[in-house]
Amino acid sequence: MADIRPAEVTTILKREIEGYGKRLEWKSVGRVLQVGDGVARVYGLEGCMMSELLKFPNDVFGLALSLEEDNVGVVLLGSDTLVKEGDSVESLGRVISVPTGDALLGRVVDALGRPLDGKGPIRTTEADLRSIEGRSPSVVERQPVKEPLQTGIKAIDSMIPIGRGQRELLIGDRQTGKTAILLDAILNQKSTGGGDPENPSQVLCIYVATGQKQSTVVDVVSRLERHGAMAYSIVVSAPAGAEAAMQFISPYAGCSMGERFRDEGRHVLIVYDDLYKQAVAYRQVMLLLRRPPGREAFPGDIFNLHSRLLERAAKLAEDAPKMNPRFVKGGGSLTALPVVETQEGDYAAYIPTNVISITDGQIYLEPDLFNAGVRPAVNVGISVSRVGGNAQIPAMKKVAGGLRINLAQYRELKAFAQFGSDLDKATLAQITRGQRLEELLKQGQFAPMPVEEQVMAIYAGTKGFLDDLPIEKVRPFAEKLLAFLRSSRAEIGKTIRETKKLDPETEKKLDEAVAEAKTAFLAGRLG
Ligand SMILES: Nc1ncnc2c1ncn2[C@@H]1O[C@H](COP(=O)(O)OP(=O)(O)O)[C@@H](O)[C@H]1O
Ligand SMILES: [Mg+2]
């Protein structure tokens, strides 16, 4: 008989007992009571959390959105035809998470971070998963915006400047150029790091397409690819054809991907296109879950949902990691440009007023301007940026000072002038100037402009160099002027770019250069 050594037995037993706890896995399992219309009611999941991820058979996942006394209302993130009554439902014990990190750059993913672009699996690990519900940084963990987020769009960078960490709403009816602005803002970020995603100063971009037509998403991706912007971008796609729940969570998923970069000290621009459609998706699932409808039939908590999302945009304090170890490095930023599509210009509807009150400013786009050829169709009279001015470079501040008021007054006077009444000289001068500034600020798509060129062009306008040009000559002249400055007076642009200022000496040079270019232009000798 073999020796029984009690000491050894005790050791083995102890080891087994110690290891036991580690292998213990807690699992809560429920049963489907009812399923249909993309939602399910599940019985027996007592400890279920809000927004918890639930696993149904056939690899269908669900999101717990309505916790009731004896059952849980779940929206399905896959087809409801794969789920039947009586199926078992497993709780995964965590809020929905998505993969994050550099591996996602250049990819098109769904709202769960699964690839949609056929470029193979995305190499992330368990450690890269982040809950889609991020806690927004507290006041002390933030700092005020101080760096510009250049969109490359003259009308915006000069009059409604956006700072890194800001939340600026783009609002307007359909077909007013909202998506076009987002795209140009993304393309312009190429200039921040040459499009190299690993360059620490590259502003990384996330385009969240919620409830868009599939063709729009395809178009956006191919544009980004064609302009070399995909390398530093992620597209989160939850198009109109996706399940309502996927549309609903898509902004949070994109935001978590952005937060990862922000918390590592990097800079991110995230655009939500658009939050109205996301709210409609949420309304749809909540009505199916029989949540009592509120104003315009939207569930009452939609305000809270939008504000929680937008609070996550921030410029982190330099010493944020000292205050909270979850920040790897301070100084990073997440800038959010949410879009809200209005119906027939109704800015006073529920979702627009909510998001207006949550953001740091709004850019209003108007169909009338758009159709009159004023593109981007920004209504400068009512558009504002409450914090971005702090981030504007001094040279731009200097030249663009009177621009906004000039244009706003001009658009008011224009209506008046149509009656052909006798106008005094001052009014006429205002109209002349306004017309030219309006021309000057028109900008085609996919042509974002570096800030120093914007400064030089606007300088020509606000200094009156364009006043005696016929309107139709304003844009051709501005183009040729910039080409001339680029090729023959490169030092002016360089100084502005590097010092960010328009010092008196450079201003004098610019003044002379513009005058020279104008003389040449009028004589037909420019460019
Ligand atoms: N600055 C612009 N110059 C010329 N065309 C533009 C400009 N902005 C938008 N467009 C065109 O107008 C149409 C509507 O723009 P889009 O951005 O899709 O509008 P929205 O997103 O508001 O529905 C598109 O065909 C787009 O190419
Ligand atoms: Mg659009």
Q: Where are the domains of the chain?
A: 28-95, 99-392, 397-522
pLDDT at 443 over 60: yes
277 lines ligand 1 (CB under 6 A): no
Q: Which ligand is nearest to the CA of 376?
A: 1
pLDDT value of position 22: 59
pLDDT range class, residue 418, cuts 50, 70, 90:
confident
pLDDT tens column, 512-525: 999 999 999 999 99
pLDDT value of position 245: 92
Residues forming beta bridges with residue 336, ordered by sequence position: 167, 270
Ligand 1 atom with least separation from CA of 182: 17
pLDDT at 1 over 60: no
- Ligand 1 mean position to 246 CA, how many Å? 26
Return the CATH number of the domain spanning residue range 28-95.
2.40.30.20
Average pLDDT over residues 322-326: 94
Q: Return the best residue to mutate from 169, 176, 210, 343 for the ligand 1 pocket (most ligand atoms within 8 A of CB).
A: 176
pLDDT value of position 401: 87
pLDDT range class, residue 322, cuts 50, 70, 90:
very high
371 lines ligand 1 (CB under 6 A): no
175 lines ligand 1 (CB under 6 A): yes
pLDDT at 23 over 60: no
Give, for 363, the enclosing helix (H) or strand (E).
strand 361-365
pLDDT value of position 20: 65
Q: Which residue has the higher pLDDT, 200 or 8?
A: 200
Phi, psi (deg, nearest 5) at residue 233: -130, 160
What are the tokens at 126? 């368990």
pLDDT range class, residue 397, cuts 50, 70, 90:
very high
- Ligand 1 mean position to 487 CA, how many Å? 31
pLDDT value of position 24: 57
pLDDT range class, residue 26, cuts 50, 70, 90:
low
pLDDT tens column, 368-389: 999 999 999 999 989 999 988 8
pLDDT value of position 402: 85
- Ligand 2 mean position to 154 CA, how many Å? 20
Burial class of residue 287 in the structure, from the number of CB atoms within 10 Å of its CB (0-12 exposed, 13-18 middle, 19+ buried): middle
pLDDT tens column, 347-357: 999 999 999 99
Protein residue whose Cα sits closest to atom 4 of ligand 1: 444
Protein residue whose Cα sits closest to atom 20 of ligand 1: 175
pLDDT tens column, 453-486: 999 999 999 999 999 999 999 999 999 999 999 9
Ligand 1 atom with least separation from CA of 376: 1
DSSP characters over 79-101 = -GGG--TT-EEEEEEEE-EEE-S
Ligand 1 atom with least separation from CA of 173: 22
386 is catalytic: yes
176 lines ligand 1 (CB under 6 A): yes
Protein residue whose Cα sits closest to atom 10 of ligand 1: 177
Query: What is the identity of the amino acid at 439?
Result: E
Query: What is the identity of the amino acid at 72?
Result: V
Task: Say whether 188 sits in a helix, a strand or coil.
Answer: helix
Q: Which ligand is nearest to the CA of 375?
A: 1
What are the tokens at 202? 């590259």
Q: Which CATH number fits domain 397-522: 1.10.150.110, 1.10.760.10, 1.20.1250.20, 1.20.150.20?
A: 1.20.150.20
Average pLDDT over residues 112-123: 95
pLDDT value of position 10: 85
Residues forming beta bridges with residue 340, ordered by sequence position: 171
pLDDT range class, residue 25, cuts 50, 70, 90:
low
Q: Which ligand is nearest to the CA of 176?
A: 1
Ligand 1 atom with least separation from CA of 375: 1
Fold of the domain spanning 99-392:
Rossmann fold (3.40.50)
Summary mean pLDDT of the chain: 93
- Ligand 1 mean position to 377 CA, how many Å? 10
- Ligand 1 mean position to 291 CA, how many Å? 37
pLDDT tens column, 275-321: 999 999 999 999 988 888 889 999 999 999 999 999 999 999 999 99
pLDDT tens column, 209-262: 999 999 999 999 999 999 999 999 999 999 999 999 999 999 999 999 999 999
Which listed residue (386, 411, 475, 486) is catalytic? 386
pLDDT tens column, 134-187: 889 999 999 999 999 999 999 999 999 999 999 999 999 999 999 999 999 999
pLDDT value of position 93: 83
Protein residue whose Cα sits closest to atom 8 of ligand 1: 177
